Amino acid sequence: MKDILHLDQLDLVNGHYSYADYLTWKFEQAVELIKGRILAKSAPDRYHQGISWQLSGIFFNHFKTHPCRAYAAPFDVRLPDKNKSAKANKQIFSVVQPDLCVICDLKKLDEKGCLGAPDLVVEILSKGNSTKEMKIKKDLYEENGILEYWIFDPERECAFQFHLTEAGVYSPATIYVKEETLQCVIFPDLNIRLEEIFRPDL
Protein backbone atom coordinates (compact mmCIF):
# COMPACT_ATOMS: atom_id res chain seq x y z
CA MET A 1 0.00 0.00 0.00
CA LYS A 2 1.33 3.42 -0.94
CA ASP A 3 2.39 5.63 1.97
CA ILE A 4 0.17 8.68 2.49
CA LEU A 5 2.65 11.53 2.89
CA HIS A 6 0.44 14.46 1.86
CA LEU A 7 -3.17 15.37 2.55
CA ASP A 8 -3.83 15.87 -1.17
CA GLN A 9 -3.31 12.13 -1.71
CA LEU A 10 -6.67 11.56 -0.01
CA ASP A 11 -10.15 12.11 -1.38
CA LEU A 12 -11.59 14.94 0.71
CA VAL A 13 -14.89 14.94 -1.17
CA ASN A 14 -15.94 11.31 -1.59
CA GLY A 15 -13.45 9.41 0.55
CA HIS A 16 -14.56 7.38 3.57
CA TYR A 17 -11.83 6.61 6.10
CA SER A 18 -11.49 4.85 9.42
CA TYR A 19 -9.30 5.36 12.46
CA ALA A 20 -7.13 2.50 11.14
CA ASP A 21 -6.47 4.59 8.01
CA TYR A 22 -5.86 7.70 10.14
CA LEU A 23 -3.11 5.93 12.08
CA THR A 24 -1.16 5.20 8.87
CA TRP A 25 -1.07 8.76 7.52
CA LYS A 26 2.38 10.34 7.67
CA PHE A 27 1.69 13.99 6.87
CA GLU A 28 1.93 16.79 9.45
CA GLN A 29 -1.37 18.48 8.63
CA ALA A 30 -3.79 18.03 11.53
CA VAL A 31 -7.09 16.45 10.50
CA GLU A 32 -10.19 15.07 12.13
CA LEU A 33 -12.61 12.40 10.95
CA ILE A 34 -16.34 12.96 11.14
CA LYS A 35 -18.23 9.80 10.19
CA GLY A 36 -15.47 8.82 7.78
CA ARG A 37 -15.08 12.24 6.15
CA ILE A 38 -11.85 14.22 6.56
CA LEU A 39 -11.94 17.70 8.07
CA ALA A 40 -8.62 19.52 7.87
CA LYS A 41 -7.75 21.66 10.88
CA SER A 42 -6.30 25.10 10.28
CA ALA A 43 -3.34 26.25 12.37
CA PRO A 44 -4.70 28.26 15.31
CA ASP A 45 -3.69 31.90 15.68
CA ARG A 46 -2.09 33.42 18.76
CA TYR A 47 -5.34 34.67 20.31
CA HIS A 48 -6.89 31.20 19.97
CA GLN A 49 -3.91 29.70 21.75
CA GLY A 50 -4.00 32.39 24.43
CA ILE A 51 -7.63 31.54 25.17
CA SER A 52 -6.76 27.85 25.24
CA TRP A 53 -3.94 28.56 27.69
CA GLN A 54 -6.24 30.54 30.01
CA LEU A 55 -8.85 27.79 29.99
CA SER A 56 -6.21 25.10 30.48
CA GLY A 57 -4.98 26.90 33.60
CA ILE A 58 -8.49 27.10 35.03
CA PHE A 59 -9.11 23.44 34.23
CA PHE A 60 -5.79 22.40 35.76
CA ASN A 61 -6.56 24.15 39.04
CA HIS A 62 -10.11 22.83 39.16
CA PHE A 63 -9.47 19.21 38.24
CA LYS A 64 -6.08 18.60 39.91
CA THR A 65 -7.84 17.20 43.02
CA HIS A 66 -10.80 15.83 41.06
CA PRO A 67 -11.31 12.20 39.98
CA CYS A 68 -11.88 13.34 36.38
CA ARG A 69 -9.06 14.11 33.92
CA ALA A 70 -8.73 17.13 31.64
CA TYR A 71 -6.76 17.18 28.37
CA ALA A 72 -5.87 19.83 25.81
CA ALA A 73 -5.37 19.40 22.06
CA PRO A 74 -3.81 17.61 20.35
CA PHE A 75 -5.59 14.71 22.03
CA ASP A 76 -7.50 12.11 20.02
CA VAL A 77 -11.07 11.34 21.02
CA ARG A 78 -12.46 8.34 19.13
CA LEU A 79 -16.23 8.14 18.93
CA PRO A 80 -17.48 4.67 17.92
CA ASP A 81 -20.69 4.36 15.95
CA LYS A 82 -23.39 4.08 18.60
CA ASN A 83 -25.43 1.66 16.51
CA LYS A 84 -22.54 -0.77 16.04
CA SER A 85 -20.69 -0.21 19.33
CA ALA A 86 -17.54 -1.13 17.42
CA LYS A 87 -14.15 -0.63 19.03
CA ALA A 88 -11.80 -2.00 16.39
CA ASN A 89 -9.76 0.75 14.71
CA LYS A 90 -11.14 -0.12 11.29
CA GLN A 91 -14.69 0.28 12.60
CA ILE A 92 -14.24 3.74 14.12
CA PHE A 93 -15.02 6.57 11.71
CA SER A 94 -15.01 9.65 13.95
CA VAL A 95 -11.82 10.99 15.53
CA VAL A 96 -11.77 14.55 16.87
CA GLN A 97 -9.28 16.72 18.71
CA PRO A 98 -11.24 19.09 20.95
CA ASP A 99 -9.38 22.11 22.27
CA LEU A 100 -10.18 20.85 25.78
CA CYS A 101 -12.07 17.87 27.14
CA VAL A 102 -12.84 16.31 30.50
CA ILE A 103 -13.27 12.56 31.02
CA CYS A 104 -14.65 11.12 34.25
CA ASP A 105 -14.90 7.46 33.23
CA LEU A 106 -11.18 6.70 33.32
CA LYS A 107 -11.74 3.31 31.67
CA LYS A 108 -12.20 5.25 28.42
CA LEU A 109 -8.57 6.41 28.54
CA ASP A 110 -5.76 4.50 26.86
CA GLU A 111 -2.33 5.24 25.42
CA LYS A 112 -3.89 6.72 22.26
CA GLY A 113 -6.29 9.09 23.98
CA CYS A 114 -9.98 8.58 24.74
CA LEU A 115 -12.27 5.89 23.35
CA GLY A 116 -15.82 7.05 23.91
CA ALA A 117 -17.57 10.25 24.85
CA PRO A 118 -15.92 12.75 27.22
CA ASP A 119 -18.18 14.40 29.76
CA LEU A 120 -17.31 17.96 28.75
CA VAL A 121 -15.89 19.22 25.45
CA VAL A 122 -14.66 22.76 24.70
CA GLU A 123 -13.99 24.12 21.23
CA ILE A 124 -12.51 27.53 20.41
CA LEU A 125 -13.49 28.93 17.04
CA SER A 126 -10.85 29.85 14.48
CA LYS A 127 -11.41 31.78 11.30
CA GLY A 128 -13.04 29.52 8.76
CA ASN A 129 -14.09 26.72 11.13
CA SER A 130 -17.24 28.14 12.73
CA THR A 131 -19.56 25.99 10.60
CA LYS A 132 -17.62 22.87 11.61
CA GLU A 133 -17.83 23.63 15.33
CA MET A 134 -21.30 25.13 15.38
CA LYS A 135 -23.12 22.50 13.35
CA ILE A 136 -21.18 19.39 12.34
CA LYS A 137 -19.42 18.82 15.64
CA LYS A 138 -22.40 19.85 17.74
CA ASP A 139 -24.49 17.18 16.01
CA LEU A 140 -21.73 14.60 16.47
CA TYR A 141 -21.27 15.41 20.16
CA GLU A 142 -25.00 15.34 20.81
CA GLU A 143 -25.36 11.99 19.01
CA ASN A 144 -22.55 10.48 21.10
CA GLY A 145 -23.97 11.65 24.41
CA ILE A 146 -21.34 14.20 25.42
CA LEU A 147 -22.99 15.74 28.46
CA GLU A 148 -21.87 19.33 27.98
CA TYR A 149 -20.38 21.29 25.09
CA TRP A 150 -18.94 24.82 25.09
CA ILE A 151 -17.96 26.93 22.11
CA PHE A 152 -15.80 30.04 22.63
CA ASP A 153 -15.99 32.68 19.89
CA PRO A 154 -12.89 34.93 20.04
CA GLU A 155 -14.13 37.30 17.35
CA ARG A 156 -17.38 38.14 19.14
CA GLU A 157 -15.97 37.51 22.64
CA CYS A 158 -18.83 35.28 23.70
CA ALA A 159 -19.43 31.64 24.62
CA PHE A 160 -22.18 29.15 23.77
CA GLN A 161 -23.10 26.42 26.25
CA PHE A 162 -25.09 23.28 25.45
CA HIS A 163 -25.96 20.46 27.83
CA LEU A 164 -27.65 17.14 27.25
CA THR A 165 -31.28 17.02 28.40
CA GLU A 166 -33.21 14.01 29.68
CA ALA A 167 -34.52 13.56 26.14
CA GLY A 168 -30.97 12.91 24.96
CA VAL A 169 -30.70 16.11 22.90
CA TYR A 170 -28.87 19.35 23.54
CA SER A 171 -30.59 22.25 25.21
CA PRO A 172 -30.92 25.49 23.27
CA ALA A 173 -27.66 27.42 23.52
CA THR A 174 -27.07 29.57 26.57
CA ILE A 175 -25.01 32.53 25.36
CA TYR A 176 -22.56 34.35 27.61
CA VAL A 177 -20.96 37.70 26.79
CA LYS A 178 -17.64 39.01 28.04
CA GLU A 179 -19.05 40.61 31.20
CA GLU A 180 -20.69 37.37 32.36
CA THR A 181 -19.65 34.16 34.09
CA LEU A 182 -20.28 30.76 32.52
CA GLN A 183 -21.41 28.21 35.10
CA CYS A 184 -20.87 24.59 34.18
CA VAL A 185 -23.97 22.40 34.40
CA ILE A 186 -22.32 19.05 35.09
CA PHE A 187 -19.63 20.52 37.39
CA PRO A 188 -21.59 23.26 39.24
CA ASP A 189 -18.51 24.53 41.08
CA LEU A 190 -16.68 25.24 37.79
CA ASN A 191 -17.21 28.87 36.82
CA ILE A 192 -15.53 30.71 33.95
CA ARG A 193 -15.37 34.51 34.07
CA LEU A 194 -15.22 35.45 30.42
CA GLU A 195 -13.25 38.62 31.19
CA GLU A 196 -10.42 36.31 32.25
CA ILE A 197 -10.64 34.45 28.93
CA PHE A 198 -11.06 37.24 26.39
CA ARG A 199 -8.10 39.41 27.39
CA PRO A 200 -6.49 41.94 25.06
CA ASP A 201 -3.00 41.04 26.31
CA LEU A 202 -3.16 37.40 25.16
> Residue 144: which CATH number?
3.90.1570.10
| Residue in 87, 91, 148, 83 with CA at minimum distance from that of residue 116 | 87
Supply the pTM of this predicted model: 0.93
Residues 6 or more apart whose CB falls under 8 angstroms from that of 41 comprise 29, 30, 31, 32, 97, 129
Residue 188 lies in a domain: yes
Please check whether residue 113 lies inside any domain of the structure.
yes
Question: Looking at the domain assignment, is residue 185 inside a domain?
Answer: yes
End-to-end CA distance of the chain: 45
Is residue 133 located within the same domain as residue 79?
yes
Please indicate, yes or no, whether residues 108 and 82 belong to a single structural domain of this protein: yes
Q: Are residues 108 and 20 in the same domain?
A: no
Mean pLDDT of each 10-residue bin along the chain, 202 residues long: 85 92 92 93 90 96 95 95 69 95 97 96 86 86 97 95 96 97 97 94 81
CA angle 141/34/26 to nearest 5° reads 130
The answer to whether residues 34 and 60 belong to one domain is: no
142 within some domain: yes
Report the candidate in 123, 156, 114 with the shortest Cα–Cα distance to residue 44: 123
- Note down the domain range covering 19: 7-40
Shared domain check, 177 and 120 = yes
| Statement to judge: residues 31 and 113 lie in one domain | no
Same domain, 36 and 52: no
Q: Quick check: is 120 in a domain?
A: yes
How much is the pLDDT for 90? 87
Question: Based on the domain organization, do 83 and 34 belong to the same domain?
Answer: no
Same domain, yes or no: 127 and 75: yes
Do 146 and 187 belong together in one domain?
yes
Q: Are residues 151 and 105 in the same domain?
A: yes
Both 121 and 179 in a single domain?
yes
Rg of the chain over Cα atoms, rounded to whole angstroms, equals 17
In a domain, 79, yes or no: yes
Q: Look at residue 2 and tell me if it is in a domain.
A: no
**pLDDT at residue 84, as a whole number:** 56
Domain count, the chain: 2
Residue 1 lies in a domain: no
DSSP letter at 143 equals H
